[in-house]
Amino acid sequence: MKKSFQLSRRTFIEHSYRYSVAAFSVYSFSSLTSCQSKQEKEEKSEQNVSEQQASKKLGIALVGLGNYSKGQLAPALQETQHCYLSGIVTGSPDKADEWKTKYNIPEKNIYNYENFDQIKDNPDIDIIYVVLPNAMHKEFVVRAAKAGKHVICEKPMAVTVQECDEMIAACKEAGKMLSIGYRLRFEPYNREMTRFGTEKVFGNIKKVIAENGMSDTEGWRLNKALAGGGSLMDVGIYAIQGVRYTTGMEPIAVTAKEGPKKDKDRFKDIEDSLSWTMEMPGGIIAECKTAYTNEMNKLRLEGENGWAELSPAYPYKGIKGETSNGKMDFPEVNQQALQMDAFAQAIKENKPSTVPGEMGKQDVKIIQAIYEAMRTGKKVTIS
């Protein structure tokens, strides 16, 4: 072995000491700078909150950072005028870090599902938006109300009518407002369908056709305990809403037939596809369809003197419409931004939400009637 590679014990200790001092210095320098940058980030996030509050925006905390929160709600909250993203509730520390940096969220506004109730002491959060699997909506809406916050709950509002009643009661008791994530109630093409139907632009309505299906379902949506049902709960609900806002009426009775299951294992607990008919007042018939293995996207009104059709009718972007008088032409809007702003404005002005819990409950009631009709093969009346 060459001498230069031979270290005496003393030289080794000296080298090690120098190395460790150097390493310690590098470590302490980097940890100091990372502490500083952490502190700087925290200060920047807190400044962000102060600025938003100064412009009188209400703070929203999203509960559940899955696809809808990540892909739609958080980006929409960068465009809103009356509310902003002030907090998050997540079970995943990795997501918390990512979101904290991306959206300037202070550490004190980040919660998990266990310490969620402490949100009651946080004045930065005015509204809690529940974006979890359907069967978890009730628990988190009730906890949010008990924490003294206004609430937005994603569709479907819950998996049973009784759960909806409990959610409405909890918000009422807390003196807080509850609304449902019905973004299409703020979308111009769908709003025009409401005008066509309720103002009888094409004469009395004879029939409505509403279909919504998709073909790439996975995860909790296939688990009845978390989803509460199949395609009807998740996407068929848009067809129910479509009929309700196009006619301005409520169904009197329903009949329903489950379609054949393309994959018996995946759909062992839930329906893949379903077609149902809703009898509306005045002899109007609504023919509806939904599926988890078939793309469908339509809302059509047939009146005495003409027709109107949206196809596709329910996506976030790219809605198209035509009538017997020609093409419809509206600007594309950010549906989620309009929906959240409308709720924040309603809170500020102490006016009722245009998409309240009662509207969500009525859809769950109709869904349960459709499931009963599907199971029994009989017509089910809705009281």
Q: Which residues make up the interface to ligand NAD (CB under 6 A)?
A: 64-69, 91, 131-134, 154-155, 181, 183, 219-220, 226, 234
Q: Least CB distance from residue 62 to ligand NAD, whole Å?
A: 9
User: Is residue 346 within 8 Å of residue 354, measured between CB atoms?
Assistant: yes
From the list 238, 292, 314, 371, the catalytic residue is: 238
Q: Least CB distance from residue 254 to ligand NAD, whole Å?
A: 21
User: Is residue 324 within 8 Å of residue 202, measured between CB atoms?
Assistant: yes
Query: Closer CB to ligand NAD, residue 138 or residue 155?
Result: 155
Q: Least CB distance from residue 321 to ligand NAD, whole Å?
A: 19
Distance in angstroms (rounded) separating the CA atoms of residues 34 and 31: 5
Q: What angle do CA 265, 270, 275 make, to 5 degrees?
A: 120
Q: Least CB distance from residue 151 to ligand NAD, whole Å?
A: 14
Query: Closer CB to ligand NAD, residue 104 or residue 217?
Result: 217
SS3 169: helix
Nearest residue relative to ligand NAD (C-beta):
66
Q: Least CB distance from residue 333 to ligand NAD, whole Å?
A: 14
Pull the structure tokens for residue 293. Answer: 């293995």
- The DSSP 8-state label assigned to residue 267 in this structure reads T
Query: Closer CB to ligand NAD, residue 323 or residue 335?
Result: 335
- The per-residue b/e assignment along 196-205, b for 16 or more CB within 10 angstroms, e otherwise, is bbeeebbeeb
* Amino acid letter for position 280: M
Query: Closer CB to ligand NAD, residue 181 or residue 236?
Result: 181
DSSP string, 63-119: E--SHHIIIIIHHHTTT-SSEEEEEEE-S-HHHHHHHHHHHT--GGGEE-TTGGGGG
From the list 138, 149, 155, 176, the catalytic residue is: 155
Pull the structure tokens for residue 186. Answer: 């703020």
Pull the structure tokens for residue 129. Answer: 């938006």
Q: Least CB distance from residue 74 to ligand NAD, whole Å?
A: 11
How many Cα atoms are found within 13 Å in the side-chain-facing hemisphere of 184?
Answer: 27
Query: Closer CB to ligand NAD, residue 10 or residue 317?
Result: 317
- Active-site residue 129, yes or no? no
- Pairing assessment for the beta strands 285-291 and 205-213 based on DSSP bridges: parallel
Which H or E element spans position 310? strand 307-310
Residue with tokens 């807080």: 176
- Active-site residue 155, yes or no? yes
Pull the structure tokens for residue 301. Answer: 């009104």
User: Is residue 154 within 8 Å of residue 68, measured between CB atoms?
Assistant: yes
Query: Closer CB to ligand NAD, residue 234 or residue 271?
Result: 234
For residue 128, give the nearest of 62, 181, 70 by alpha carbon: 62
Query: Closer CB to ligand NAD, residue 133 or residue 236?
Result: 133
How many Cα atoms are found within 13 Å in the side-chain-facing hemisphere of 15?
Answer: 8
Query: Closer CB to ligand NAD, residue 174 or residue 227?
Result: 227
Q: Least CB distance from residue 373 to ligand NAD, whole Å?
A: 22
Q: Least CB distance from residue 212 to ligand NAD, whole Å?
A: 11
What are the φ and ψ backbone dihedral angles of 299, each rounded to 5 degrees?
-140, 115
Pull the structure tokens for residue 35. Answer: 């502490």
What is the set of active-site residues?
A: 155, 238
